[in-house]
Chains A and B, each alone.
Chain A
Amino acid sequence: MFQRFGHLVAPYVVRFVNWVLQLLGLNIQTGDTFYNAVHFFIYDSIKIIFLLSFMIFVITYIRSYFPPEKVKALLAKFRGIWAYVVASVLGVVSPFCSCSTVPIFIGFVEGGIPLGVTFTFLVTSPIVNEIALGYLFVTFGPKIAILYTLAGMTIGIVTGLLIEKFNLHHLVEEYVYKMKMGEMEAEVMTRKQRLIYAKDSVVDIVKDIWIYVVIGIGIGALIHGWAPEDLLTKYAGPNNPLAVFVGVLFGIPLYANAVGTIPIAEALISKGVGVGTALAFMMSVVALSLPSIILLKKVIKPKLIAIFVGITGAGIVLVGFLFNWIL
């Protein structure tokens, strides 16, 4: 559907881009490197922001059915492996901003949700967030979007299972277990309230992320125009396993919104970088970002943070290998 929609608006966007270029007094030929870069930049910015808005609207509407209180109640009903699977599914439909990481962590652990299940939720949620997913779908098509989602969920489930298996409860700060959480009745929203909530979220999120999108697409455009294809293919192509590793390491200190990294990943792939290498880099930026690690320090001991980063990082590297191999 998105593809078809893209084709429908494409001619208008192209005409608009040409018009802007003429206004700027730029007389450039189709096929020129500079033309390609500028064209990619403007065309993509408009297309992506438009499609993202639509995507955010639909997903926040669904999301309004899954506030954290409800997620917690749902999770408490499942036992064994199913609890992990459900936690990862809920992680996909119930994203939260990094400022809620700590309250959600405490709320879950205090409410008797196993530590591993809590981690599954906290790991899956940022990797497979709705904006990134919609964007991946538009940029790379359904196959990669679905594979990415499954990979993100698997990484979350495995991280959670291992943390639970190692029995690391003593690495959670003690006060977390002592906290008393209040009871609150989750509000039941009407359809109209949900629609307004979805609309407000579109405005809010687009206001927050457009700059990342534009910067990301700008870097993407530069890569499209000037990155040396033969070098990238040689050193970061799908046949170089080390590149996946380097990509993940590079991702950790980078703090960018997921949507900013997608156009960069797309441009890198078009220049010969392996799909798995580029996606692993993306996952690392969102799942292992320094700010969320610093937030987690409030509730868990450094050793557990190291274990979490180690397991999740290894999972991302493996997924990178897998994607390079099968795609």
Chain B
Amino acid sequence: MMMEIKILGSGCKNCTTLTKVVEEVLGELNMEATVEKVTDFQDILGYGVMKTPGLVVNGTVKFAGRIPSKDEVKKVLEG
């Protein structure tokens, strides 16, 4: 099954940065995944996240409220 990545954030600067980090890591790992931006705050709250940005991988919140480093994202994506 293809990995599903969601980036939670209402479009602030941090969310754009996180998207970039995720895309870079995907490129480096040569992995394919669907990357979706979730901007509606009702949906964001649905994940239990109050402070953006948030990173959701296959339905589980991995990071919230801060921008993880590339290495941290790598670890999570490699599972």
Question: Which residues of A are at the interface with B, using a C-beta cutoff of 8 A?
Answer: 64, 67-69, 72, 96-97, 99-100, 102-104, 106-107, 110, 179-187, 193, 196-197, 200
Contact = CB atoms under 8 A, between A and B. Distances in A.
Chain B, interface residues (CB within 8 Å), range: 20 to 34
Contacts of A184: 47-49, 61, 64
A184 B63 CA distance: 10
A181 B46 contact: yes
Interface string B50-68: 1110000000011111110
B69 A68 contact: no
Contacts of B51: 67-68, 96, 100, 103-104
Contacts of A183: 48
Please classify the interface of chain B as helix (H, G, I), strand (E, B), loop, or mixed, using the class held by over half of its residues.
loop
B45 interface: yes
Given A99-B10, A100-B52, A179-B42, A67 B64 contact: yes
A99 B52 contact: yes
Contacts of A179: 42, 45
A104 B46 contact: no
Given A100-B51, A103-B52, A68 B41 contact: no
A255 to B, nearest CB: 16
21 contacts: A64-B66, A68-B51, A68-B65, A69-B48, A72-B50, A97-B12, A100-B51, A100-B52, A102-B41, A103-B50, A103-B52, A110-B45, A179-B42, A180-B46, A182-B49, A183-B48, A184-B47, A184-B61, A184-B64, A187-B62, A187-B63
